[in-house]
């Protein structure tokens, strides 16, 4: 229980830090949002109108007061309204979130169905031609710029063959190309990791012990060796979550996929600060929650961790 | 030769940096055409003996632009790497060696940086600072230095309690000397491996940021922004985006291969595993 509460305390501190960082970002960034808001209609604006809007948005208060006000609203889950659409930021983000989650989950799925068989086969047939080919794949996959791969896919499957749509969302067909692009780019790292950690765990004592107990090879492989590998795989997942989320931003822009990443790039271009702030907070929270879940999952995947905790 | 290099990791770094810089500088001099020379009547030409890789939408020679772009792209990523090393290594050294409260506070800061997804941090930061090469460099350095601090600190912490360091202390070597003579040689191998592997990642990041319009601005020849410009024409002239992409891929591939090789040389643990 004590561990849990200290963890919670850390989380709260982290969120506070995050909120401060995202607030500071906005204030330090060059470019006056007021001008951007007023320039939407491309009409010349008077100095008077600018000042009026500054007052209205509270930009004339001292920074500390601005942060305090903002923090109070933040606690009430009110992140303000988007400068562009006048909608509440929370609503905008929540509206786009399912699309991004769908894309992320699908590409994780694609990644798994690519990486697990290839990694497994190359560990089982170590140093044969299959292994060499799959290592080549991993090397190329880690070196290819994902957006470029996406462009090539569009060129091939949308322009040349006309099989799949290249932009937007709605049907499964719309999801195939973006998910494939992200999935392939991610799979490379996991293939390597899976191969090396499978090889490592196959040489360990508990595998020999399982063999001695007369378990079948398949059972040993899936329930012992494979399970042992999940720990490094999940660790890598936590580490690479950042590039996965960053990757979704690029891929969403590339495929005009209406997710949260595309929203934030548009917001950056238009200096829509509340949206960017909301996005930073959202992503920071998301990553923290996932990482905490990963920490918890170690206990279930690796008996050693549980044993150590039990002892202490 | 290998034995020599292994015993002198610094010489490898020197060799690599010198050869990289030489290659990049020399490559931009052999460019057959002016990379920014616009010839509208020669636009979107296919591959020919005159223009080895064709011309782009403004009639500029793509081959020359790729060669000169190498200087921008690779040079920028080397610069980013250098800055990250110069910030990350000293902080890691001191944090690990001094320890105590200083170390704890620093590590909390590093953790906060690490907790936030690097790509998103870089995108948002460089986006807010405004498009341009300098802001891009700044944004990527901000996300990259923490990795080195972490790595260096953990190596220093395992090394500093060993007996040879104790002996050096007893012999009256000052902390600075210990760091210089004993710690730095120890961390160099790991840092070199991480840096080589990072080089490819940095290039991919620059390219991705340039692709969404945050990096180099036209008409600068930079692989990522060439790709960005080329995408508008890729229905008619796919070459415009295929070639810069290939250039990026080949370079990243090279640095990944080099990183793997160095890892096998330095890192005993993964050698046993058989990566």
Whole-angstrom Cα distance, residue A171 to residue A124?
Answer: 38
Q: Which of B211, B253, B274 sits opposite A250 (nearest CB)?
A: B211
Closest chain A residue to B250, measured at CA: A143
Q: Which of B122, B128, B235 sits opposite A25 (nearest CB)?
A: B128
Closest chain B residue to A242, measured at CA: B117
pLDDT of residue B141: 92
Whole-angstrom Cα distance, residue A154 to residue A135?
Answer: 26
Residue A84: other Cβ atoms inside 10 A = 17
Q: How confident is the model at residue B83 (pLDDT cuts 50, 70, 90)?
A: very high
pLDDT of residue B270: 43
Residues of B with a Cβ under 8 Å from any A Cβ are 112, 115-125, 127-130, 200, 204, 207-208, 211-213, 224, 227, 231, 234-235, 238, 241-242, 245, 248-250, 252-253, 256-257, 270, 273-275
Cβ within 8 Å, pair A246-B270:
no
Whole-angstrom Cα distance, residue A130 to residue B134?
Answer: 45
| pLDDT higher than threshold 50 for residue B274 | no
Please state the separation of Cα A64 from the chain's center in Å. 32
Whole-angstrom Cα distance, residue B178 to residue A261?
Answer: 48
CB-based contacts of A277, cutoff 8 Å, min separation 6: A22, A23, A25, A26, A79, A80, A89
Average pLDDT, chain B: 78
User: Between chain A and chain B, how many beta carbons pairs sit less than 8 Å apart?
Assistant: 133
Cβ within 8 Å, pair B273-A30:
no
| All domains in chain B, ordered by first residue | 59-273 (1.10.3720.10)
Q: What is the DSSP letter of B217?
A: P
Among A151, A256, A266, which would you mutate to test the B interface (most chain B Cβ atoms within 10 Å of its Cβ)? A151
Pick the CATH number of A90-311 from 3.90.1150.10, 1.10.3720.10, 3.40.50.720, 3.20.20.70: 1.10.3720.10
Whole-angstrom Cα distance, residue B7 to residue B187?
Answer: 13
pLDDT of residue A306: 66
Average pLDDT, chain A: 78
Q: How far is CA A65 from CA A51, A72, A271, A302, B201, in A?
A: 18, 10, 22, 48, 40
Q: Which of A14, A155, A250 sits opposite B115 (nearest CB)?
A: A14
Cβ within 8 Å, pair B248-A148:
yes
Helix (H, G, I), strand (E, B) or coil at A88: strand
Cβ within 8 Å, pair B119-A242:
yes
| Token digits of residue A284 | 């920071």
pLDDT of residue B14: 62
pLDDT in single tens digits along all 312 residues of chain A: 566 677 777 777 777 777 777 777 767 666 666 666 666 555 566 777 777 777 766 666 777 777 787 778 777 777 777 777 777 888 888 888 888 888 888 988 898 888 888 888 888 888 888 888 888 888 888 888 888 888 888 888 877 777 777 776 777 778 888 888 888 888 888 888 888 888 888 778 888 888 888 877 778 877 777 777 777 888 788 777 777 888 888 888 888 888 888 888 888 887 787 888 888 888 877 877 887 788 777 777 766 666 665 554
CB-based contacts of A304, cutoff 8 Å, min separation 6: none
Is the overall model pTM greater than 0.95, yes or no? no
pLDDT in tens, B219-262: 777 888 888 787 777 777 777 788 888 888 888 888 888 887 77
Among B107, B196, B212, B258, which would you mutate to test the A interface (most chain A Cβ atoms within 10 Å of its Cβ)? B212
- Cβ atoms of B58 and B40 within 8 Å: the answer is yes
Percent of chain A surpassing pLDDT 70 = 85
CA distance A131 to chain B (A): 11
Whole-complex ipTM = 0.76
CA distance B120 to chain A (A): 5
Whole-angstrom Cα distance, residue B140 to residue B210?
Answer: 12
Cβ within 8 Å, pair A159-B116:
no
Among A152, A242, A295, which would you mutate to test the B interface (most chain B Cβ atoms within 10 Å of its Cβ)? A242
B267 CB neighbours in chain A (<8 A) are none
Whole-angstrom Cα distance, residue B223 to residue B245?
Answer: 7
Whole-angstrom Cα distance, residue B71 to residue B77?
Answer: 10
Closest chain A residue to B252, measured at CA: A143
Stretch (H or E) spanning B193: helix B184-211
Residue that is written with structure tokens 């949206």 in the block: A275
Cβ within 8 Å, pair B128-A268:
yes
Query: Which candidate, A303, A269, A263, places its Cα nearest to that of A90?
Result: A263
* Domain limits, chain A: 2-75, 90-311
């Amino acid at each position: 229980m004590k561990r849990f509460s200290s963890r919670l305390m850390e989380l709260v501190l982290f969120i506070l830090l995050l909120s401060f960082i995202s607030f500071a970002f906005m204030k330090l960034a060059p470019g006056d949002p007021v001008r951007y808001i007023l320039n939407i209609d491309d009409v010349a604006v008077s100095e008077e109108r600018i000042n009026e809007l500054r007052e209205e948005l509270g930009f004339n208060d001292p920074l500390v007061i601005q942060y305090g006000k903002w923090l109070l609203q933040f606690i009430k889950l009110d992140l303000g309204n988007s400068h562009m659409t006048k909608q509440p930021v929370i609503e905008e983000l929540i509206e786009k979130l399912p699309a991004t989650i769908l894309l992320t989950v699908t590409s994780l799925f694609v990644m798994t169905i690519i990486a697990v068989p290839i990694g497994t086969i190359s560990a089982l047939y170590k140093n044969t031609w299959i292994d060499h080919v799959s290592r080549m794949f991993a090397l190329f996959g880690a070196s290819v710029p994902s957006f470029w791969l996406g462009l090539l896919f569009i060129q091939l499957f949308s322009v040349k063959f006309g099989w799949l749509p290249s932009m937007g969302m709605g049907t499964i067909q719309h999801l195939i190309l973006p998910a494939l692009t992200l999935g392939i780019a991610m799979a490379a790292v996991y293939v390597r990791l899976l191969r090396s950690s499978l090889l490592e765990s196959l040489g360990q004592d508990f595998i020999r012990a399982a063999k001695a107990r007369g378990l079948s090879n398949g059972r040993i492989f899936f329930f012992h060796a494979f399970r042992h590998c999940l720990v490094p795989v999940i660790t890598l997942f936590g580490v690479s979550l950042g590039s996965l989320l960053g990757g979704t931003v690029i891929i969403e822009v590339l495929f005009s996929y209406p997710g949260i990443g595309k929203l934030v790039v548009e917001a950056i271009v238009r200096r829509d600060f509340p949206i960017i702030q909301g996005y930073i907070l959202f992503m920071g929270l998301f990553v923290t929650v996932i990482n905490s879940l990963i920490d918890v999952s170690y206990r279930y995947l690796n008996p050693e961790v549980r044993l150590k905790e039990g002892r202490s | 030769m290998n034995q020599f290099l292994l015993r002198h990791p610094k010489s490898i770094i020197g060799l690599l940096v010198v050869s990289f810089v030489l290659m990049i500088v020399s490559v931009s001099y052999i460019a057959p055409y002016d990379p920014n020379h616009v010839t509208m009547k020669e636009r979107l030409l296919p591959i020919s003996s005159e223009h080895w890789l064709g011309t782009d939408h403004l009639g500029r020679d793509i081959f020359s632009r790729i060669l000169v772009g190498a200087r921008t792209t690779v040079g920028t990523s080397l610069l980013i790497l250098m800055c990250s090393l110069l910030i990350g290594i000293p902080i890691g050294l001191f944090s690990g060696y001094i320890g105590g409260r200083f170390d704890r506070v620093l590590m909390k800061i590093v953790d906060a940086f690490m907790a936030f997804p690097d790509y998103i941090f870089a995108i948002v930061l460089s986006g807010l600072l405004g498009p341009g090469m300098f802001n891009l460099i700044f944004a990527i350095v901000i996300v990259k230095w923490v990795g080195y601090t972490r790595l260096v600190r953990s190596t220093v912490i395992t090394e500093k309690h060993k007996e040879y360091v104790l002996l050096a202390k007893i012999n009256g070597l000052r902390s600075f000397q210990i760091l210089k003579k004993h710690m730095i040689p120890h961390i160099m191998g790991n840092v070199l491996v991480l840096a080589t592997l990072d080089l490819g990642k940095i290039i991919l990041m620059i390219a991705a940021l340039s692709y969404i319009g945050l990096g180099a601005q036209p008409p600068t020849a930079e692989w990522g922004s060439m790709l960005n410009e080329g995408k508008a024409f890729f229905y008619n002239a796919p070459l415009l985006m295929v070639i810069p992409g290939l250039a990026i891929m080949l370079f990243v591939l090279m640095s990944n291969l080099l990183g793997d090789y160095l890892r096998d040389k330095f890192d005993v643990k993964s050698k046993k595993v058989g990566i």
